[in-house]
Amino acid sequence: MLRKLLILTAMLLCLTGCRAETAEPPVKQPGKTVSPAVKVTIVPDRIAEHISGMSDAQKVGQLFFARCPETDAAGFVTQYQPAGLILFGRDFESRTPETLRAFLAECQSAAGLPLLVGVDEEGGTVTRISGRDAFRAEKFRSPQAVFAAGGWEEIARDTSEKDSLLRSLGINVNLAPVADVSTDPSDFIYARAFGQGAEQTAQYVSAVVRQMSDDSIGSVLKHFPGYGNNTDTHTGAVFDERPMEAFREQDFIPFAAAIQAGADAVLVSHNVVLCMDDERPASLSPEVLKLLREDLGFDGAAVTDDMGMGAVGQYTDAATAAVMAVNAGNDLIISSDLPNQYQAVLSAVESGEIPAERLNEAVYRVLRWKRNIGIWKP
């Protein structure tokens, strides 16, 4: 659908010169009013129009959600012009809310397009901000603990509090909620999940996504196509042996519900899901991305899990993985090695290994996300 829209927009821009025409007012003559011929109003697609004026280097920068460097972050942004920066615990350790806001303002000033600024603030075992006296002394609770304390009303209140804290600091994306279905406390992902069945998890992620949308905080569902009972991909390759029926009957249900609720982005895991693609991690698999687009109807930003994780390193090198990720259908690469991966992707674009159409499609989705959360107006 997006590919067809981009092609149609390009044709319309050529035909109209990017001008919207409006009907002329009726012409009054003695005794009667003569209406002129009706003119079709064509509203140009401002995002596609903006992309048409970008260089390949600028477009490639918008494919990266980069780990914030420890030094000279503003210079890093100036050089590579990434889509955004992801903050980790180290980025909060020696800062106060005031110094963090100033730091992020400096980074934003160095960006040609406003930056997505993201953080993993799921609550429970994964928090980057809360638990630090300068920001919020008490850690945000896990989804399971929040629900146990006050049901759906407390889920909405807790999400809103997170969103308010993030916004106050200059952060506009939370890499949450976790949409994985897990009911077994022995599962690696259980403590981060809602801890109930597919339908209840679907209700949870939908509620969180709607609240985040109301609060203008970008949402990222994770970890597609569903983590199951698999082990930690941070440390090495994971092979999911479940049949496709298991995904359709369980794992896809929360993702589909949250997509319907308006999720901005979906993060794709590095699990090798044998029933979908027995050769590549999900994040590098065109087959997995095709399921996300066609079966679940998702047309937002597809985001890889961190490409520096062990599951990818065991499969291929970082540069090759970045090119594969874009060609598989991802729109954003979470990168801890931006200089190396940026150059590899730019070279692949210039050689034609990454088609221009695929590049423009990805950049379109990233810029649309920025527009939708109110940080950029084309």
If one counts every other C-beta atom within 10 angstroms of the C-beta of residue 125, the result is 10
DSSP output for 88-103: -THHHHT--HHHHHHH
236 and 271 housed in the same domain: yes
140 and 188 housed in the same domain: yes
149 and 37 housed in the same domain: no
DSSP output for 106-162: HHHHT-SSPPEEEE---BTTB-SSTTBTTTBSSPPPPHHHHHHHHHHHHHHHHHHHH
207 and 236 housed in the same domain: yes
- Distance of alpha carbon 120 from alpha carbon 251, whole angstroms: 21
73 and 132 housed in the same domain: yes
pTM here is 0.88
5 and 83 housed in the same domain: no
6 and 120 housed in the same domain: no
Q: Is residue 154 part of a domain?
A: yes
Pick from 329, 325, 323: nearest CA to 357: 329
Three-state DSSP state, 338: helix
Write out residues in the chain with pLDDT < 70, as ranges.
1-43, 232, 235
Please give the pLDDT value at position 255.
98
- Distance of alpha carbon 263 from alpha carbon 210, whole angstroms: 8
Please give the pLDDT value at position 10.
47
363 and 219 housed in the same domain: yes
Please give the pLDDT value at position 42.
62
Alpha-helical (H) ranges within 170-228 are 198-214
Q: Is residue 278 part of a domain?
A: yes
Domain containing 361 — which CATH number? 3.20.20.300
Q: Is residue 377 part of a domain?
A: no
Please give the pLDDT value at position 311.
83
136 and 264 housed in the same domain: yes
Please give the pLDDT value at position 40.
54
Please give the pLDDT value at position 39.
52
Pick from 119, 143, 144: nearest CA to 132: 119
Tally the domains of the chain: 2
- Provide the domain limits for residue 276: 55-372
Two structure tokens written together for 352: 């034609």
